[in-house]
Amino acid sequence: MTDNIYNPEFVKGLFNRMSSSYERMNYITSFGFSIRWRKQFINSIPSTKEKVEVMDLLTGMGENWESVRRKLPNATISALDFSEEMVKSAKLKNEKHFSSSILILQEDILQNTLPSHHYNIVICAFGLKTFNPDQLKILAIETSRILKPGGKFSFVEVSKPESFILKFFYGFYLGNIIPILGRLFQGDPTAYEMLWQYTEKFVNSKQAIEIFKSTGLTANYDSYFFGCASGFSGSK
């Protein structure tokens, strides 16, 4: 099982099953902090009223778009995800709240057709943990490839807290309480149990930032709320 949890088809199936409750559960699992962390990680990108191209990788249901639009009011936003059900929900949000102005692509970032040197900004929230080190290397290479020279990027991920006490209670909550809520919301606790397994193996973004730096990108480590989330931001 351990070897297969990073298989793209397995991950896609996981998020397809969680799509009906994912946004709500993401809020609950983070005690509401996920909304704040999304705003904070996007704040590492400088504000501008210029026309810029933004790529939101692993967009899910498009939870980042509102913050991006406020930060970059004249941005052209593109979004990518490989989960059919997540993309379906994202398209509904796009039509209802964004006048269908977001270009949504259903693709696997590890095998994509995105143009090279095209985007001024690349962002990604809560998707790093589902990649193993080899896949993170591909993600870093692809991020560098699609960014324009001087382009900015920012990533954030739920992590294991640095405090032992906080780590214990957060781990118990994610590993034991969240699967119960998963059963209540969708009748299947296994998908949300997997999220904690990914977080346990991921730990934090320290390994990922080193992988990104190894591809020639410059990056700074970011920690949120005592390490309950972590990430990195930088430029090409």
User: Residue 107: inside a domain, yes or no?
Assistant: yes
Average pLDDT over the chain, rounded to an integer: 88
Is the pLDDT at 59 greater than 70? The verdict is: yes
User: Residue 57: inside a domain, yes or no?
Assistant: yes
User: Residue 197: inside a domain, yes or no?
Assistant: yes
Q: Which of 107-111, 179-183, 210-214 has the lowest mean pLDDT?
A: 179-183
Domain count, the chain: 1
User: Residue 58: inside a domain, yes or no?
Assistant: yes
Q: Average pLDDT for residues 78-97, to the nearest whole number?
A: 97
- Pairing between strand 103-106 and 76-81? parallel
Which pLDDT belongs to residue 193?
Answer: 74
User: Residue 108: inside a domain, yes or no?
Assistant: yes
Can you spell out the DSSP letters for 124-163? EES-GGG--HHHHHHHHHHHHHHEEEEEEEEEEEE---SS
Which pLDDT belongs to residue 1?
Answer: 46
User: Residue 2: inside a domain, yes or no?
Assistant: no
Q: Average pLDDT for residues 106-133, to the nearest whole number?
A: 97
- How far apart, in Å, do the first and last CA atoms of the chain sit? 36
CB 221 within 8 A of CB 206: yes
Which pLDDT belongs to residue 32?
Answer: 65
Which pLDDT belongs to residue 3?
Answer: 59
Which pLDDT belongs to residue 188?
Answer: 59
CB 91 within 8 A of CB 116: no
User: Residue 3: inside a domain, yes or no?
Assistant: no
Is the pLDDT at 170 greater than 80? The verdict is: no
State the CATH number of the domain containing residue 61.
3.40.50.150
User: Residue 218: inside a domain, yes or no?
Assistant: yes
Position with higher pLDDT, 200 vs 179 = 200
Is the pLDDT at 21 greater than 70? The verdict is: no
Give the integer Cα–Cα distance in Å for 104 and 147: 18
Which pLDDT belongs to residue 36?
Answer: 86
Is the pLDDT at 68 greater than 80? The verdict is: yes
Residue numbers of the domain that contains 35: 8-235
